[in-house]
Structure 1
Amino acid sequence: MILFSHLLVHFASVLILLSLELHNFSIGESAVTLSITTDREALISFKSQLSNDTLNHLSSWNQNLSPCNWTGVLCDRLGQRVTGLDLSGLGLSGHLSPYIGNLSSLHSLQLQNNQFTGMIPDQIGNLFSLRILNMSSNMLEGKLPSNITHLNELQVLDLSSNRFVSKIPEDISNLEKLEVLKLGRNNFYGAIPASLGNISSLRNISFGTNSLTGWIPSDLGRLHDLIELDLTFNNLNGTVPPVIYNLSSLVNLALASNSLWGEIPKDLSHKFTKLVVFNICFNNFTGGIPGSLHNLTNIQVIRLASNHLEGTVPPGLGNLPFLRMYNIRHNRIVSSGVRGLDFITSLTNSTLLNFLAIDNNMLEGVIPQTIGNLSKNLSILYMGQNHFKGSIPSSIGHLSGLKLLNLSYNSISGEIPHELGQLQELQELSLAGNEISGDIPNSLGNLLKLNHIDLSRNRLMGGIPTSFGNLQNLLCMDLSSNQLNGSIPMEILNLPTLSNFLNLSMNFLSGPIPQIGRLSSVAIIDFSSNQLYGGIPSSLSNCLSLEKLLLARNQLSGPIPKALGDVKGLETLDLSSNQLSGNIPTEIQNLHGLKLLNLSYNDLEGGIPNDGVFQNLSAVHLEGNRNLCLHFYCLPHGNGSINIRLYIIIIGIMVTLILYLTIRILLHIKNKKAKVAAATSEQLKPHASMISYDELRMATEEFSQEKLLGVGSFGSVYKGHLSGGTTVAVKVLDTLRTGSLKSFFAECEALKNSRHRNLVKLITSEIAVVHCDLKPNNILLNEDMTAKVGDFGLARLLIQGSTNLVSINSTHVLAGSLGYIAPEYGWGEKVSSAGDVYSFGIVLLELLSGKSPTDECFTGGLSIRRWVQSASKDKTVQIVDPQLLSPIFHDEPFEGPNAQLNCVHAIVGIALSCTAENPDERIGIRDAVRQLKAVRDSLSKLSAETLTPALETLG
């Protein structure tokens, strides 16, 4: 009986337990259903924020189906929770829904290569299980969510190629499991957090193409598993911490396009045993190329371009079987002795080499025939701007994979080897600026893929090969400044792809200009300074994209074709120094974009049109045409120069009388107004507000170093905030410095009443002002990035002289700062507005190039202006600060036409016009501003995706 009771109790316990298990199962099933439902609702909300025209890829996202069956959705094994969302590359657009934070079991979120906009929602911080977060290659913007550093399980964070404007969070070290951190191609600013060195698991750091500043933290040297460190295209400075060179795990070290300096360690091969990529281009590294670099047998890419490296190319290049790129261009590398170019021969062991750039150094000697033994994969060969001599090795014709060959601006002589015609893949051939003689070989017409040929500035003779008509992919041709003769082949005027320029100027070409065939896309035609005769072909009107037509200094005759009026895009038309006759076609005045018309020194006659470009006298040159009529009186065509002179004298007297009476009337009106204004001037005069020293001290936080804007010759300038909210610049004089008070009074006098959006605002002044010390240190930026010119301590006041504005200062003391001072001041000329224009041009060149005019590279008569001027238009990118062009600039060629780069060309032209040696040849500041505004307007039409922020500020 007792035993039965025990069995009964046990059975009851089993029933209770079974009941509880069933109850728990029911509760669990309900919980699972709730969770998958929550995930479904979160995904539907995510979909609702997308643009309708991109939803076709998500047609399977049907509420009647389980989310586990939807496109891009991954679930756990039991189908109970969504653990992954991969929508990469679907072209989706729209905003990210905050409901994405409800996917609490999500391990992987991959939304890269879409068109998402807006900000990352803060709810992303709720995904505590997230291990992979990839939102690269979108259009996301704003700051990073502050709680993104709470995702403690995160292993991959890739936000590259977006529009984030943010600092890298200092507490990013909270992501202790992070292995990959990619933030490149954004607008991240500020310093690289030293705390990154605490994330021992980091294997990849990619911060390239941002606006990061400061030094590279030495703490990164603790990341012993780091494989990639990419800090290219930033504003980093200082030296590379030595501990970085001790990271033996590194495979890719890319520090290009910063302001780093120092020498490269000589013992790299003992530390970087795994290194594949070594890229330090566009910095300020000095010293020599370390020989140990050539002992890294696994290395594939060596990029040392655009630094200040000196010495010779060390031996050992023959030890690099996997080398693909060797780029030491734009340095100061020399070659010495008869074996100074043996390194070229050594590279024949690198059978994978496809990029070799040694141009713009100080290499000399004869190019060895062994160059033809280089890799058949070699596609890019830059050797220009050195001191090579001798002839072009015929063996270059063996480099069958070559796409670019540049030997320009050396001292190469001899003839062009016909073997170059074997380079069937060649797209760019540049031999300009040498001493090459002989005929142009017909074999060059075999280069069917050629799109750029530049043989200018040589001693080439003979005719232009008719075989050039085979070059059906040609974009530009420059054969100028040679000794070519014969006629212009009709074949080259039938190249439909020729769109950039056709330059045959400064040769001995003769005969008539053939009828233009299919050059409908060409922008520039320059046949000037030849011996061409006959008429100007009316078929030039077929060149619908023509911007410049230059036919000056020939023997052309006959009338100017009326058909030129149909070339609506024409900006420059130079037909000067020919034998043209007849009237000026009135159709020319319909060319509304025409900026320069030069018809001087011809035999033109009749009336001069009144509209269009003819309304701008400075843009039209008609001198040397004796039979042209004046605007309001046509001179007789009879003999007797006395009558002509009489008419001119009479007209001159009439004009003088009219001007005299007009001036007297204007002066009378002005004096009358002045008397009326004087009576009330005291009542209307603004009173200067007085600011106490205590207010200034509080505004500048006790003149703290954090508020220091800069230090000048006579004192320091601090940033301050007055109690009313006004932001001011406070100048503190060093009264112990001789001339400080004089400088202060001069500055006050110069700015008393000057008013301009780009001048710091003071209270009183009235006469024209020359700044005399315009330089970057004297230009401030306010909160909306508007430039404010300050520090008028060296300013001069101008008065109206008999002919122009002159300084009221009688002395000829040099005024300005080294590198920015106008050259005429050194000749004893008085200060003038042209001097400020020169300084402005130098500042513009410094902004574009990133180089100070006092940079140590500008020696031996080379100035920043001459350096920039020496670069031809297609090489402008080599002198422009790469950080201005970071989204579009690469070492590699073949980038194609670029509208942004055209704007850069325009700005370079403006800067050079401002810095002409002769002050009379400089453009006025108003013209400079007008042209810059035109560039700004061009930029505003470009896609926001490709705009460079630094260029935007030029507007």
Structure 2
Amino acid sequence: MDLPNRDRVLSGSFSCLTIIILLLGSVLTLVEVRGNKTDRLALLEFKARIVDPCRVLSSWNDSSDICKWYGVTCGYRHRRVTVLNLSSENLAGVVAPHIGNLSFLREVYLQNNSFYSKIPPQFGRLFRLQKLFLNNNSFSGQIPSNLSHCSNLLNLDLRVNKLEGNLPAELSFLSKLQQLKLGFNGLTGNIPPSSANLSSLQVFITNSNNLSGKIPETLGRLRNLNFLSLGDNKFFSTIPISIFNISTLTTFSVILNQLEGGLPSDLGFTLPNLKSLLLGGNYLSGPIPKSISNASNLIQFSIGSNNFTGNVPSFSNMRQLSFIDLGKNILGSGQSADLDFLCSLTNSTKLKVLCARHNALGGRMPNCISNLSITLSWFLLSGNHISGVLPSGIGNLINLEILGMWANNISGNIPSEIGNLNKMKIMDLGQNDFSGQIPGSIGNLRMLIELGLNINNLRGLIPLSLGNCKNLLLLDLSTNDLSGNIPPQIMYLSSLSLYLDLSQNNLTGSLPIEVGNLKNLGELRLNGNRLSQQIPSSISSCVVMERLYIQDNFFEGPLPSTISSMRGLQILNVSNNRLFGQIPKYLELLNLTNLSLSYNDFNGALPTGGVFGSAISTSIVGNKKLCGGLPDFQLPKCNYKEAKQIRTSRTTKILISTISVLVGVACMLSLLYFFRYRHNKKSLASSSSIEGLLHVSYHSLLKATGGFSSTNLLGMGSFGSVYKGLLDQTQSNVAIKILDLTHHGASKSFIVECETLRRIRHRNLVKVLTACSGFDFNGNDFKALVYEFMSNGSLDEWLQPTAMQYTTRRKLSLLERVNIAIDVACALDYLHHHCETPIVHCDLKPSNVLLDDEMTGHVGDFGLARFLPETVHKLLVDQSSSIGVKGSFGYIAPEYGLGSAVSIEGDVYSFGVLILEMFTGKRPTDDMFDNGLNLNCFAKAALANRVENVIDPVLLQEIQELEKRRMVAGDGKNKSWFSTLKCLALIIEIGVCCSSKSPRERMDISDALIKLQGVRKNFIAIA
């Protein structure tokens, strides 16, 4: 081809190529314009469905390019939306389905807003999507399964929403997914085994959902996984061994599940990169692997609230360790080497939290704790068996904020160096054997908000320097041997709001008038001291106070009238003081739920309004000059006629007194004559009211009790006092109940009890030996009942021991409690179903259950008993019907308070409460039970969750000790812990059922007895 022709051909080809390029450019421009328009419309639809209070989307309008809209990023070439970032902009509303039209979208950041409704399934059309952050919103419904179509997805974060339903198995198709975060939702079902197909997964978070079942073994195939969080779900069975072979793991958390089994012995070698191992709140058992020391990168180690046993291994290689929680296990053996691990932690220079509370750790507190890192903030060893002294080097831990050492056996003085810990906020050294004085340096702890030194042997004065702790919310110095006056400086701590407890000491003097400065205090306990003088009127300034306990002191005078302004007061106990005067009417107007005025010298008419409308909520015993009130109080009627004042000269008074004495002596001699030789009906040696029993006289009972000496006083009840005595006739110890006949209803109670005990005989009822009804040496009526002596006192003394008993008396074992519960059930079953006439006890409670030498339970005190039907015995009806059903607060059936008739179901209610108290260790009158919460609700809630949360810690410790012994014996697979908890759950169920609010819902005592006997059989088999 010649050159001109070639040029023409090339020129024509170039022209064609130009035309093609121009046409292609036009097409691309048209596509871009149309695509850009599609994105614009989608974003405007998105905007139309949300609320934008901060107007961050004001730039989203037709007058500007969408690529310049706030939160929008476009690609450089095609000008399509690739990133939508509106995180933390206070937006709310529904995400429009048009989001699926943004087909070039690669990243979506909508976290930390208030979007709600369902996640649009149209997200599944975004096949270019790599990152989707919808966390911390209120999305609901299920996770769209078609998110699996987003095949390029790298990061999916749906945490902290309201999502529910199953975890879609389709998500396992996302082979490129690196992070899957689904925590804090309401997801249910299992983790699909197919999740193992997420071969690129590095982070897998499903914590705080309702997922259940077993953790799939297949998760061990995720060889790139470094963060696995499955905590706070309902997973059970064992942790798959395959997970412990994922050598890339840095964080592994399964806290708060129901997992069991042990940890592999080579854990520290198979997980060498581990930084956080969080296993707390499960049922894991066995020893802590010694190989854990090889995990030298470990920062967090938490195994609290499990059943781990054995010695705690060394942590000497863990120099990065910051957080260690070993609490609430069965670690230790009570030996001196138990605390050696503390010394190994001196190498952990970044340690902030050290918790080993509630274990079985023993031995002396090592001096090496002085060398722990000064970064230590929390140091908790409470609830162990640690002895020795608290080293003075504790003062080196200058950044310590929480120090918990309560419930150990630590002795000696509290070191004065404790005052160096000026960052301390909470310090609890209670329930130990500390002695000496409270160091004055404690006043240096100016950031302190809680201080507990209760139940020790501390003596001396309360240091004035405590007045420097201006941030104190709680101060508990109770049950020590502190003496002297209450420092006014304490009363200037206006920060005190939770409670101030100075009870059970030897404090003297008056209550400082500065008490009025405690304007924020909710509870004040001063009971069991030797405080005197009048209650200061300034106490009325404590306007938010709810509970005031000042019983068992020597306060005198009337109740201050200013107490009327304490409108928040709910519980007031001023019993056993020297208060006098009339009971103020203003008490009717307060919101009191419990009032005790007993054993004072109040006089006059008892008010009838407010708290005085219930004999259950108000106690007035021991005030012999009261009258009136509602019939339930059984007080004499008030005589409002004024007696004429007889003016008598001194001589006349002496004459009348002399004549009265002579007449009295003559009458007494006459009576003695008749008592000894004529045996008439009014002789001092009157026969027993129960035929055929031993005859006793007032004189013999006086001699038996050492003149009714207070040293022989066993206790005081509703109608009298019980003494220990030695009868000449039998030369055996007996219990003698002396009726206080000045108490209205006492005589009737005596007749009822005699009549009841005459009819019944059972091994689990207190055996009556005789009764005495006659006169004392002054000619006053005298009535007494003599019982078989129970050497181990009442069940109440064992369940709720005094401070002295707490330190000297062993605790009731689990089997002993079950046996006593069965004994009480047997007694009630006999009374309800096997007597000629059914008998209702009406006052079943721990103080009326007595224990003999063999710890067998016997039900006593039938002063309020009733026969059913009552028409069977008219005499008893006449005598008992006016007594009124009183019972005891906390144990009396609720229907009685509404006027319902006496029934055996009422006894069953009391039995249920007694069972719950025996196995939870909590009284039904505990201060924690208010605002509708009671012992029944408390126990019932635990049945639906974890029953061990309500079991008496003494029993839990016993079970742990048993399990520990079994583990030491080599029975590594023993399940006695779980079996025992199941049995305890059955007992709690019995208690809850018997104490149901509705009588119809309560089980019969015969059924309860059968169930308890079955539980005992299981306990014996486990043991």
TM-score, normalised with respect to structure 2:
0.64
The Cα shift of 1:859 comes to 6.8
1:66 equivalent in alignment to 2:92: no
Cα distance in 2 for partners of 1:557, 1:512 equals 10
Q: Aligned residue for 1:403?
A: 401
Deviates more, 1:506-515 or 1:333-342: 333-342
Q: Aligned residue for 1:184?
A: 183
Q: Aligned residue for 2:371?
A: 373
The Cα shift of 1:610 comes to 3.1
Distance 1:409 1:646, change over 3 A: closer
User: SS of 2:274's equivalent?
Assistant: coil
Counterpart contact for 1:821–1:839, Cα < 8 Å: no
Distance 1:399 1:839, change over 3 A: closer
Show the 5 A alignment for 1:426-505. Answer: 426-505=424-503
Cα distance in 1 for partners of 2:374, 2:617 equals 53
Counterpart contact for 2:388–2:410, Cα < 8 Å: yes
Q: Aligned residue for 1:413?
A: 411
Q: Aligned residue for 2:944?
A: 847
Cα distance in 2 for partners of 1:225, 1:647 equals 81
Counterpart contact for 1:448–1:470, Cα < 8 Å: yes
Counterpart residue type for residue 37 of structure 2: T
Q: Aligned residue for 1:210?
A: 209
Deviations 1:674-714 (A, max 9, x none): xxxxxxxxxxxxxxxxxxxxxxxxxxxxxxxxxxxxxxxxx
User: SS of 1:388's equivalent?
Assistant: coil
Q: Aligned residue for 1:634?
A: 638
The Cα shift of 1:631 comes to 3.2
Counterpart contact for 1:310–1:334, Cα < 8 Å: yes
Counterpart residue type for residue 845 of structure 1: A
Deviations 1:423-467 (A, max 9, x none): 011111010101111111110010011111100000111111111
The Cα shift of 1:13 comes to 4.6
Distance 1:844 1:205, change over 3 A: same
Distance 1:322 1:41, change over 3 A: same
The Cα shift of 1:648 comes to 7.3
1:557 equivalent in alignment to 2:526: no
Q: Aligned residue for 1:687?
A: none
Q: Aligned residue for 1:704?
A: none
Distance 1:501 1:10, change over 3 A: same
Counterpart contact for 2:278–2:301, Cα < 8 Å: yes
Q: Aligned residue for 2:983?
A: none
Show the 5 A alignment for 1:47-86. Answer: 47-53=47-53, 55-78=54-77, 80-86=79-85
Counterpart residue type for residue 495 of structure 1: L
The Cα shift of 1:580 comes to 1.8
Distance 1:2 1:290, change over 3 A: closer
Q: Aligned residue for 1:949?
A: none
Identity among equivalent positions (%) equals 35
Q: Aligned residue for 1:925?
A: 997
Distance 1:609 1:275, change over 3 A: same
The Cα shift of 1:254 comes to 0.8
The Cα shift of 1:15 comes to 3.2
Counterpart residue type for residue 63 of structure 2: N
User: SS of 1:414's equivalent?
Assistant: strand
Aligned residues: 708
Cα distance in 1 for partners of 2:531, 2:989 equals 31
Deviations 1:95-117 (A, max 9, x none): 22222222221111111122222
The Cα shift of 1:48 comes to 2.5
Q: Aligned residue for 1:385?
A: 383
Counterpart contact for 2:905–2:999, Cα < 8 Å: no
Counterpart residue type for residue 608 of structure 1: L
User: SS of 2:408's equivalent?
Assistant: coil
Distance 1:801 1:195, change over 3 A: farther
Cα distance in 1 for partners of 2:349, 2:958 equals 42
Cα distance in 2 for partners of 1:625, 1:580 equals 10
User: SS of 1:386's equivalent?
Assistant: coil
Cα distance in 2 for partners of 1:306, 1:579 equals 49
User: SS of 2:433's equivalent?
Assistant: coil
Counterpart contact for 2:534–2:555, Cα < 8 Å: yes
User: SS of 2:331's equivalent?
Assistant: coil
Q: Aligned residue for 1:99?
A: 98
Counterpart contact for 2:150–2:174, Cα < 8 Å: yes
Cα distance in 1 for partners of 2:432, 2:147 equals 59
Q: Aligned residue for 2:506?
A: 508
The Cα shift of 1:840 comes to 8.1
Q: Aligned residue for 2:309?
A: 310
User: SS of 2:481's equivalent?
Assistant: coil
Gaps of 5+ in 2: 631-636, 646-739, 749-866, 871-900, 920-933, 962-977, 979-986, 1002-1023
The Cα shift of 1:152 comes to 1.4
The Cα shift of 1:373 comes to 0.4
Q: Aligned residue for 1:164?
A: 163
Q: Aligned residue for 1:40?
A: 40
The Cα shift of 1:617 comes to 2.9
Deviations 1:735-759 (A, max 9, x none): xxxxxxxxxxxxxxxxxxxxxxxxx
Cα distance in 1 for partners of 2:60, 2:246 equals 48
The Cα shift of 1:863 comes to 11
Cα distance in 2 for partners of 1:400, 1:638 equals 74
Counterpart contact for 1:387–1:410, Cα < 8 Å: yes
The Cα shift of 1:858 comes to 5.1
1:543 equivalent in alignment to 2:547: no
The Cα shift of 1:496 comes to 2.5
The Cα shift of 1:198 comes to 0.9
Counterpart contact for 2:52–2:91, Cα < 8 Å: no
Distance 1:924 1:255, change over 3 A: closer
Q: Aligned residue for 1:344?
A: 342
User: SS of 2:147's equivalent?
Assistant: helix
Cα distance in 1 for partners of 2:122, 2:178 equals 23
Counterpart contact for 1:360–1:384, Cα < 8 Å: yes
RMSD (CA atoms): 3.7
Larger Rg: 2
Distance 1:807 1:38, change over 3 A: closer
Distance 1:544 1:476, change over 3 A: same
Cα distance in 2 for partners of 1:458, 1:80 equals 77
User: SS of 1:188's equivalent?
Assistant: strand
Show the 5 A alignment for 1:724-803. Answer: 801-802=869-870
User: SS of 1:378's equivalent?
Assistant: coil
Q: Aligned residue for 1:155?
A: 154
Deviates more, 1:78-87 or 1:281-290: 78-87
The Cα shift of 1:83 comes to 0.7
Counterpart residue type for residue 925 of structure 1: K
Show the 5 A alignment for 1:129-148. Answer: 129-148=128-147
Cα distance in 2 for partners of 1:848, 1:562 equals 48
Counterpart contact for 1:846–1:853, Cα < 8 Å: no
Cα distance in 1 for partners of 2:261, 2:742 equals 75
Counterpart contact for 1:822–1:838, Cα < 8 Å: no
Counterpart contact for 2:145–2:170, Cα < 8 Å: no
Distance 1:558 1:370, change over 3 A: same
The Cα shift of 1:250 comes to 0.4
Counterpart contact for 2:936–2:996, Cα < 8 Å: no
Counterpart contact for 2:52–2:90, Cα < 8 Å: no
Show the 5 A alignment for 1:238-249. Answer: 238-249=237-248
Counterpart contact for 1:335–1:341, Cα < 8 Å: no
The Cα shift of 1:341 comes to 2.6
Distance 1:488 1:94, change over 3 A: farther
Counterpart contact for 1:312–1:336, Cα < 8 Å: no
Cα distance in 2 for partners of 1:336, 1:623 equals 47
The Cα shift of 1:8 comes to 4.9
2:330 to 314, 332, 350: 332
Gaps of 5+ in 1: 653-798, 824-836, 865-880, 882-910, 930-955
Deviations 1:510-561 (A, max 9, x none): 1111222432222111111111112222333322322211111111122222
Pick 1 or 2: higher relative contact order, CA cutoff 8 A, min separation 6. Answer: 2
Distance 1:567 1:148, change over 3 A: farther
Deviations 1:173-228 (A, max 9, x none): 11111110111111111111111101110111111111110111001010001001
User: SS of 1:318's equivalent?
Assistant: coil
Q: Aligned residue for 1:892?
A: none
